[in-house]
Amino acid sequence: MSASDAQLFSSPGGFVSVYDKLSAIGISLPSVTPSVALFVPFVRTGNLIFRVRATSRGGTASPGSAGSRSTSPSRTDARPQRGIAIELLGALHAATSDLNSITRIVKLLVLVNSAPAFTEPHVVANGASELFNEVFGDRGPHARSAIGVAQLPLGACVEIELIAEVA
């Protein structure tokens, strides 16, 4: 067994496919949403994949501002972040043709459309981080920055950038 084959074993009991994990939690991968501006959905260089940005699932922004009366991304509601993480998984699949070839989720940058007094963008980011950890096991924990911002494209509540390593 090669070192790359060994990394596909996330438990002592044997191989656990990323696709099996996704199926078990009821997630089907979306196709990559076409870019609406002058950028590409992802860039692969060497063994790294950069997902340019994702603000929603299915190309529609989830509007809102954390910490305002119309708060969309909150401490207890991980839906926007989780949906974006699912979109990111779809882009990773398009970039690799096999999510099992991902050796590490390296970094997330989570931008949260926030009211001035909102101080918990790191809590909002947990929805995406938790999904990557659940799906990729020991390859999922990553470095992360979570930053509150005054505005995001299309009024989106959350934008996430991702860097992943592939075999």
Structurally, the chain folds into a number of domains equal to 1
Task: Collapse the DSSP code of 53 into the 3-class scheme (helix H, G, I; strand E, B; otherwise coil) and give the result.
Answer: strand
Handedness of CA 27, 28, 29, 30 (dihedral sign): negative
* Alpha-carbon gap, residue 147 to 160, rounded angstroms: 10
In a domain, 36, yes or no: no
In a domain, 151, yes or no: yes
Tokens of 17: 């496919």
Return the bridge partners of 165, or none.
48, 104
Q: pLDDT per residue over 85-138, tens digit each?
A: 999 999 999 999 999 999 999 999 999 999 999 999 999 899 999 999 999 999
Q: Is the pTM of this model over 0.85?
A: no
Containing domain of residue 142, as a range?
3-30+42-166
In a domain, 37, yes or no: no
User: What integer pLDDT is reported at residue 49 of this predicted model?
Assistant: 96
**Whether pLDDT at 63 is above 80:** no
Q: pLDDT per residue over 11-31, tens digit each?
A: 445 568 999 999 999 999 998
* Alpha-carbon gap, residue 57 to 158, rounded angstroms: 11
